[in-house]
A and B are shown apart, each in its own frame.
Chain A
C-alpha cells in the first residue's frame, strides 16, 4: 500500500515515516496557555486559501465510504478530543478512517482524521489521547499556517503553492493533498512544541502522561521488527535524523511526565470496550498488509493484554501462514492449536488449518480441519470448493 500523508498537520505519523512525536521540549518550559477559539480567516488571505483547500478535502472525505460511520465509536473518540481540546471542541470534527496504518492528523480548519490502524495499536484511552493531543497541539499552535508562510517566502515553492491552493483542477485531489502535505511538513521545533502541548493536554484531562512514551516505544518496536523481517538495514540514526535519539526522548518524556505528575488514568478497560465491535475487522485489515514483522510484534503485545483471546492466536497463525517461510507453517499450526483451546477464533481458522496441513503433506489432518470448517459453516460461500478439497484428500 502506498503510504501518504493524508492531511496537513499529520506531523509524521504513518508507520514507515517518522512517528507523530518529535523532540520534546524541556520539562521546565514556561507554562503553556490554551489560546482562544479561532475565527474563520478572511477568504482572501493565505490562511483563508488553506482553509478553503481543506474544506474541499473534508467535503470529499465526508462522502468517502472509508469513513467508519459508527456513532458509538465516533462519540467515544470525539469525547477524548473534547477532554483534550477544551473550548476548541466544537471546532474539531473527527473522522475515523478505515486504513490499517498508524496515523492521525489534524488540518487547520478543524478536520481531524484518525486511522483504524492507530486505534488497533493503542492499548488504552491515554495512549490514544497522547497521539490526539499531539495533533491538537499542532492545531492550537497554528503550525500549518506557519509552514505555509515559510514555504511561500521561498519563491519557487511559493509560486507552486499558489497554483495548488487556487483549486488546481489538473491533478487529482489526492495528488494535490500529498503535494501540499509534503511541502508543508512540520519542522523539528514544531514537533517539539506539539509534543509539549500534547502532554500538557493529557495531564489537564487527567490521563497518565507517561503513556505518551509507551506509544513511542511500541511504535519503535514495530518499525524495527518490520525492517528486520524485510531484511532492510535498520539504522536508528536515519530515523532520528531530525529527531533526538530514543534514549534522549525517553528521558524528556519521563521528565515531562514527572513534572506533570505521573498519576492519571489510562482508561484501558473503557478503550477495549469501545473498540470491541471493530477489532476483528481491524485485525483482518492488519493481516492484509502482509507486513509480518510489524504485525507479529503488534499481536504479541495484544496477547499480553488478552492472554485468553483465541482470535489473537488465530491471527498470529494467519500471519505465519501468509508469510510461509522456513518453519512458518508449523508455527501457524501451533498458533491455531493454541487458539482452539481458547475462545474467539473464527470458523475460518479450520479452513486455514486445512490449507496449511495440505502444504505440510498431512492429508488426514487437512481433511479433519476442512470437515470441521464445513461443520461450523455449512453454507459458507466457499463450501462447494472446500468439498472438492475433501475429495482430493480421500
Chain B
C-alpha cells in the first residue's frame, strides 16, 4: 500500500472511531428540555473529537442531506453566564457569554462570532419578531460564505429566551438548490417546538 493511501486510511479510521450518526424522528423528539415533532427523519451527528465549523459547541447537530451540506445547529438550554459555543481546536478564542437580558441583535452577533471562527463570512439579513417554542422570540435570516470552499449558504435562525435560558436553532444549506428545497421541512419542524415555561 502506498504511504499516501495508508495515511488516508488511518485518518478515516480515526474519524469513524469517534463520530457516529444516528437517526432522529419521525415523531416527538427532545433536545434538552425542548421538544419537537418531526414529520420525517433527520440525522444526528455525535462527535467527541471532530468539530463542525458551522456549529462549534452546539448542543446537538442535525442534517437531512449530509453535514457538508445542510446543518441544523441547536444551542439550547444555555443559562445566564454560560458560554455560547466553543472555540475551535488549537485556538483559544474567548467565546461569547449568554446573558438573559441580551437583545436579539446581540444574540445574533454572538452566534456570528461562534460560527465564523474559521474565517467564514456572515451577513445578517432580515431580523424580525417571531413566536418560537411557545413564547415570544425572533427569527433571523443570514448568509454564510464558508471559508474552506467559499460556498455560499443561506441560513435561518429562531430564538427565544425562556426561564432565563437561551434556545437558538440555526439552519443553513447551500444557497443554490438545497436551501430552497430543505427549508420548508425545517420550518414545519420549528413550528412544533415547545419549551415548558
Contacts and interface: CB of A to CB of B under 8 A. Distances in A.
Interface of A: 1-2, 63-66, 98-99, 159, 163, 166, 168-172, 174, 285, 288, 290, 322, 351, 355, 358-359, 381-382, 384-385, 388-389
Interface of B: 3-5, 7-8, 11, 88, 90-91, 93-94, 101, 103-106, 109, 112-113, 116-119, 121-122, 124-129, 138, 145, 147-148, 150, 152
B150 A64 contact: yes
B91 A2 contact: yes
B113 A290 contact: yes
A27 B121 CA distance: 44
A255 to B, nearest CB: 39
Contact of A2 (B4, B119, B126): B119
Nearest to A324: B106
Contacts of A358: 103
A241 to B, nearest CB: 20
B67 to A, nearest CB: 15
A269 to B, nearest CB: 30
Nearest to B128: A384
Contacts of B90: 2
Given A166-B4, A355-B103, A1 B116 contact: yes
A358 to B, nearest CB: 7
Contacts of A174: 148
A172 B15 CA distance: 15
Given A351-B105, A382-B126, A163 B88 contact: no
B3 A163 contact: yes
B116 A65 contact: no
Contacts of B106: 355
Contacts of B129: 384-385, 388
A36 B104 CA distance: 60
Nearest to A391: B129
Contact of B116 (A159, A171, A288): A288
Nearest to B138: A385
B145 A65 contact: yes
B110 to A, nearest CB: 10
Given A170-B8, A288-B113, A288-B116, A382 B105 contact: yes
Contacts of A290: 93-94, 113
A230 B84 CA distance: 19
Given A2-B90, A322-B109, A381 B8 contact: no
Contacts of A170: 4-5, 7-8, 11
Given A2-B90, A98-B121, A385 B128 contact: yes
Contacts of A388: 129
A159 B118 CA distance: 30
Given A288-B116, A288-B122, 8 more contacts: A65-B150, A66-B150, A166-B4, A170-B7, A288-B112, A355-B103, A355-B105, A384-B128
**Which secondary structure dominates where chain B touches chain A?**
mixed
A66 B138 contact: no
B113 A172 contact: no
A63 to B, nearest CB: 8
Given A2-B118, A65-B145, A168 B4 contact: yes
Given A2-B91, A64-B150, A381 B125 contact: yes
B145 A66 contact: yes
Tell which of A99, A168, A288, A382 has the most Cβ of chain B within 10 Å: A382
A359 B103 CA distance: 9
A168 B8 CA distance: 9
B143 to A, nearest CB: 11
22 contacts: A1-B116, A2-B88, A2-B117, A2-B118, A65-B150, A65-B152, A66-B150, A172-B148, A288-B113, A288-B122, A290-B94, A290-B113, A322-B109, A351-B105, A355-B103, A355-B106, A382-B126, A384-B129, A385-B129, A385-B138, A388-B129, A389-B103
Contacts of A382: 105, 124, 126-128
Nearest to A359: B101
Contacts of B104: 385
B126 to A, nearest CB: 5
A359 B138 CA distance: 19
A141 B150 CA distance: 33
Contacts of B147: 66
A169 B8 contact: yes
A352 to B, nearest CB: 9
Contacts of B127: 381-382, 385
A74 to B, nearest CB: 18
Given A172-B148, A174-B148, A99 B119 contact: yes
Nearest to B127: A382
Contacts of B148: 172, 174
A106 to B, nearest CB: 21
A289 to B, nearest CB: 9
Tell which of B5, B7, B88, B150 has the most Cβ of chain A within 10 Å: B150
Tell which of B5, B93, B103, B129 has the most Cβ of chain A within 10 Å: B103
Given A381-B126, A385-B138, A163 B118 contact: no
